[in-house]
Structures are given as C-alpha cells and as structure tokens.
Amino acid sequence: MDEHESPELTEEEKQLFADLMPDDLAEIMNTGVNRRHFLKLLTLAGGGILAAQSAVAERVLTRPSRETLPVELAPSSLENGVDIGLKVNGKAHKLTIDSRMTLLDTLRERLNLTGSKKGCDHGQCGACTVIVNGSRVLSCLTLAASCEGKTVQTIEGLAQGNRLHPMQEAFLKHDGFQCGFCTPGQICSAVALLDEAKKGHTSYVTGNVRQPGGPVKLSNEEIRERMSGNICRCGAYPNIVAAIQEVHSGKPVEQVFRSA
Amino acid sequence: MRAFTYTRAKDATSAIKLLAENPNAKFLAGGTNLLDLMKEDVERPNALIDISELDLSEIKPIINGANQGGISLGGLGKNTDSANHLLVRQHYPLLSQAILAGASGQIRNMATNGGNLLQRTRCPYFYEVAMPCNKREPGTGCGAREGINRMHAIFGWSEHCVAVYPSDMAVALTALDATVIVRSANGQQRSIPIADFYRLPGNEPEKDTNLMHGELITAIELPKNRFAEQSYYLKVRDRASYAFALVSVAAALEIEGNTIKQARIAMGGVAHKPWRALKAEQILVGKEATEATFKRAANAEMADAKPLTHNAFKVELGNRSIVLALQMAVNGGKA
C-alpha cells in the first residue's frame, strides 16, 4: 500500500499515543501522522513491552495490520489453479488457488486469518484445528480445493464483536496457555468437542459404548482423551482441562496448582 | 509437494474411470494420510480425484445376501460417524472401540472407512526418502531390518520388509470377518474377505493390499454375530492416547454357560497386516473361559513370534495383552 494512502489514526491509536507520548501528541497530530509512521514510532518506543502494561496498546498491537493485506495473485499465474467458494466466519469468499494449497495456508496467506497456527504441518499437533461444516478438522491436512461450498469457522470467528466466546473466557480465567501458540487450535477443538458430547459421541475411555447416545457428561479423563489431538508444548494441560470442564459443566471449576 | 491436477468427482462411475486411465492418479477422500505422504514426497500422484462428496457414506442393515442380518458401512463414511452409529455401538462395539482407539477426534472426523483400510505403514524408513525402503522404492533394501526396529513386526515379516500395518479399525474388522466391497472400471463389483484383502510383505512389500488400481471401496460389510456382549479392543502404546499401537488385541467371545463356543482374536502392531490369532482361537473353543485357558491360548500364538533386534518385548507384551483383552471382554471392559 502506498504510504500516502495509509489511513489516518483511529481514536484508539490516538489514545495510545497520548498515553505514551503526551508531550509530543499535539505537535505530531498537527503535522499529520499516518498509520505507518505511527507504528514505526511505537516500535521505537518499545511498543511490545508497553503492550504488556496497557490494555489499549495490547488491542492496537494485536489487531491485524491493515498494511499487510496479501496481494491477490492473478489466476493465470497459478499452475493447476482451482476455483473455490467457501464461507469463513460467516463471510463468503471466492478464490483461485493452487491445487496443492491446504486450507491452513489459504486461511493464513490468502484470507489473512493468521489465528490458525502451523505447528507441525503433518497432522500431529492440532494447532491448525478449525471447524468445517460443524466438525473439528485439521486444516493442514485439508486441501482448500476440497472445501468448495463449505463453512469454516476459525478462532477469529468465535467472539461476537468484543464479547468473547465462553471457551475463550474460560481459557483466560484458568490460564489455559503459556506461550499461546497452540491455543487457537485448543479452543476450536474444545468448542467442537462440547458439541460432540451433546450429540452423545462416545470415546475410547467411555466404559460401555453400547449404552445409547444422548448428551454425555464428560469426566476430566474423557476431556483429556477427547483433546489428545491437541498438543501443548508448555504443558498447560491441567488448566486446559479445567477451562473445558467449566464450560461443559456450567459450574465454576476450582483451580488446582500442583508442584512437581 | 509436487504439482497435481485436482478433479472433483461427480459420481462413482466417472471417478473410477478417471483413476483407471491414469496409473499415477489417486483417489482423495479424507486425505489425512495421503496429503501427509505427499508433503513428505513419499506419494507422488500427478492427479487427485476427490471422491469425498460421493454418496457412499450410508450405514445400513444388510437385508439379503451372504451377510444378511449384518450391517454395511459406506466406504466414504467418516470414522467418527461409524464409531458413533447406534447400529455399530449396539451390535459391533468392538469396532466402535477400535476406531475410537485410533488417531484423534479431528482426524476421525476427516478419515473415511475405505481410506482407513488403505493407510500406509508409519515405518520411519518408509517416511524418510533419504533411507532405503523396498516398500517405497522396490529394490533399495530395507532400512529397518538391521536398523532401529522397536516398532516393527514380530510375525510374517520378510528380509525385504519388516514394517507393521497401522490401522486399528482393520484389526477389529479382521476379528469380525468383514468383507470389503469394491467396484472396478468395468463396472463389476467384487467382494474381498478381509483375510484376503491384506498381504504379507514377501518379495513385493510395495503392495499393501490386493486392491487393483482403478478399484474403489464402496462398502465394508459385517456379518451378524453374537460377540457384542463379550468383546474388547485393547491398545497398548507409548502414550495414553493419540499414538500408534505397540501391540493391540481385538478379542471377541461367544460363551454359553462358562464354555467358549466361538472366539475371535486379531492383533495390530505385530505384522504387515492385521494378524488373526488362529492358533489362540483354536485353543479357546470348547474350553472354560478362565485365566488359565487364556494364558494357554496366548502362549500358543506367541510361540511363533520372530522378534527383531529391538522388539523382543513385543512377544511378552503380546502374550499379556491377549490375556488381558480376553479378560476385559468377559468382564464388560474391566480388567
């Protein structure tokens, strides 16, 4: 994007500026500052550190940058291009993609939805978990070409505006993460898991699979088994189980801290 | 990943035709194994024919024919749907358990019944293109034979290949005497008993199954049985969940009074195909269902094992797993 076309600062960004450099604000605003300049200044001011202390900074810095929107490739430049139409987080998209493109790469590289993470890219870690037509799947082992007409929900589509999904709230409350890289996949997986339990799905640790379906009350052991496709390298498992159990049971779950 | 053309199949007939006319084409269903292997450059199709949307996913009772009174699972039904279908849970709980013992929730939502049967080995020498592997590239040798072979076969291996077959579902299907129904390019249908579907490696480890190029698995049929009350799928692995089996045992018994009338045992993680433990079954039939009988049966089967350098532990593990699976089968899933 051309620098001259950079949008002006939002109210939120102006507020952050005021917080960080109150003395310079008037002067800077009067000389006119565009967003790219603002981001540069923020970097110089150590925005990353400030983000930890300022709620406004955190919101501004974690928002997808409007300056890095991918450039659409002309269909003619693709070998074995495939035309697809799919709906992601309620929004319809039409794309021409290379036949080799996975759903994960399409979400991240073409639709700028970088919440879904590429952990192993081989279906072993679950960081790329998204919900397709209501079922949790691994987007790294799904060809985008096979998603014609399908509905995809990613971590970006769970919150309603500023209102977090109950599972996101519970992960925050229970500290269900440390580095956070696996978290989008964990949360998408957990959201779909509770739907599976409502539908009466059974698991390998369910005592008697012959008992007829109907909503299943999940023990912590059941949650652990059903979440086994999502690896957390930081080892936040007890807190992840607590978060899911709280949303599942609808009752507060006490936090347990154990030292090794 | 190498370049390939992608075609969404409209119906089974045209899908089979497209595949049959290109020896380098492959069907794409769930993709959980195929795409991974393509990323690793182990599988190199130049065309994928997507069959995932074909109308072949129904689970239904079989009204007539050889398997009358049994059930039919559509070849493109998802593993999750098969494991949770009430007909399967009620009458073939062993199959539900075996499917649920495999992979993760996400992968079972993607993987299809037919695709599950066609999984390739997870032998690390097969996966690593810098290593020799007769299954991947015939004639290059077997890296695992004298390499690290802790996860490998103890039954039925050859000097050309010591890999094991990975599916749990197929182990239960082997115990339950399933039949694989396939359709070929000339429109003909053929029924392959599961015991004839898989192969031992012999001189041609590149062939996992007896399926021909151009054939499509349309259904898997299960005959009626009386094992639902007393069956169990035991999977022993390095992690509690989401890992391939070191050893697994599908055990099913029909007991009258305390006498075993029929027995079915199949093992996973021990051979190039699901290993039907016929010797153990023979010992069980007509005997009382006691721990002593189970031990005799397990000993008889495992006496034939030929372990490699690093997997002698699988002989004792297999022995104990057979006994435990049989005990859990008769005790309603409790040890």
Per-residue DSSP letters for B235-277? EEESSSSSS-EEEEEEEEEEEETTEEEEEEEEEESSSSS-EE-
Where do the domains of chain B lie? 5-53, 231-330
For chain B, 335 residues long, give each residue's pLDDT as a single digit of tens. 999 999 999 999 999 999 999 999 999 999 999 999 999 999 999 999 999 999 999 999 999 999 999 999 999 999 999 999 999 999 999 999 999 999 999 999 999 999 999 999 999 999 999 999 999 999 999 999 999 999 999 999 999 999 999 999 999 999 999 999 999 989 899 999 999 999 999 999 999 999 999 999 999 999 999 999 999 999 999 999 999 999 999 999 999 999 999 999 999 999 999 999 999 999 999 999 999 999 999 999 999 999 999 999 999 999 999 999 999 999 999 98
Residue B153 gets which letter from DSSP?
-
- Max CA-CA distance within chain A? 74
Residues A100 and A148 in one domain: yes
Question: Of A137, A204, A206, which is closest to B110 when you measure between CB atoms?
Answer: A137
Q: Are A82 and A19 within one domain?
A: no
ipTM for the assembly: 0.97
Identify the three-state secondary structure at position B108. Answer: helix
Domain boundary among A157, A187, A209: A157
Judge whether A260 lies within some domain.
no
pLDDT given at position A5: 45
B5-53: what fold? 3.30.43
CB contact set of B200 (below 8 Å; sequence gap of 6+)? B156, B157, B158, B271, B272, B273
**How wide is the angle at C-alpha A190 spanned by C-alphas A185 and A195, nearest 5°?**
130
Of A49, A68, A87, the position where a domain reaches its end is A68
| Terminal CA-CA length for chain B | 46
Within this chain, domains B5-53 and B231-330 share the same CATH topology = no
Range of the structural domain that residue A62 is part of: 3-68
Contact A2, A61 (CB under 8 A): no
Nearest-angstrom CA–CA distance, A168 and A170: 5
Interchain CB contacts (distance < 8 Å): A and B: 121
Residues with pLDDT less than 50, chain A: 1-6, 47-48
- From the list A141, A206, A209, the residue facing B36 with the nearest CB is A141
- The residues, ordered by sequence, that sit 6+ positions from B231 with a Cβ below 8 Å of its Cβ are B93, B94, B250, B251, B252, B253, B329
The answer to whether the Cβ–Cβ distance between B3 and A138 falls below 8 Å is no
| pLDDT value for B335 | 84
**Residues of A in Cβ contact (< 8 Å) with B228:** 210
Asked if residues A246 and A168 have their Cβ atoms less than 8 Å apart, the reply is no
Q: Counting Cβ atoms within 10 Å, is residue B146 exposed (0-12), middle (13-18) or buried (19+)?
A: exposed
Reply yes or no on domain B231-330 having CATH 3.30.365.10.
no
Q: How confident is the model at residue A51, as a pLDDT?
A: 52
Domain boundary among A41, A68, A95: A68
Q: How far is B86 from B93, CA to CA, in rounded Å?
A: 10
Q: Is the dihedral of CA B271, B274, B276, B277 positive or negative?
A: positive
pLDDT, residue A131, reads: 98
> Strand ranges (DSSP E) for chain B?
5-8, 25-28, 47-50, 59-61, 71-74, 179-183, 189-193, 216-222, 231-237, 245-256, 259-268, 275-276
Distance from CA of A186 to the nearest CA of B (A): 11
Q: What predicted TM-score, i.e. pTM, was given to this entire model? A: 0.89
Among the partner-chain residues A80, A146, A210, the one whose CB lies closest to the CB of B89 is A210
Smallest CA–CA distance, residue B331 to chain A, in Å, is 11
Say if A137 falls within a structural domain: yes
- Taking phi first (over 0 means left), then psi (-120 to 50 degrees means alpha), and beta for anything else, what does residue B54 get? beta
Closest Cα of chain A to B31: distance in Å?
A: 6
Task: Tell me whether B131 touches chain A (CB under 8 Å).
Answer: no
| Among the listed residues B286, B230, B224, B287, the one whose alpha carbon sits nearest the alpha carbon of residue B64 | B224
Output the pLDDT for position A212. Answer: 78
* Closest CA of chain B from A93, distance in Å: 19
Among B55, B111, B45, B80, which residue's Cα sits nearest to residue A138?
A: B111
Per CB-CB distance under 8 Å, the chain B contacts of A99 are: 3-6, 48
Q: Tell whether A171 and A232 lie within a shared domain.
A: yes
B5 contacts on A by Cβ (under 8 Å): 80, 99
As a whole number of angstroms, the distance between CA B205 and CA B214 comes to: 20
Residue A216 sits in a domain of what CATH number? 1.10.150.120
Q: Are residues A35 and A58 in the same domain?
A: yes
Beta bridge partners of A93: A86
Residues A124 and A173 reside in one and the same domain: no
Nearest to A103 by CA among A119, A124, A118: A118
The answer to whether A100 contacts B50, with C-beta atoms less than 8 Å apart, is: no
Query: Which residues on neighbouring strands pair with residue B233, listed in sequence order?
Result: B250
| DSSP character at residue B281 | H
Domain count, chain A: 3
Assess A219–B contact: CB distance below 8 Å, yes or no. Answer: no
Distance from CA of A253 to the nearest CA of B (A): 24
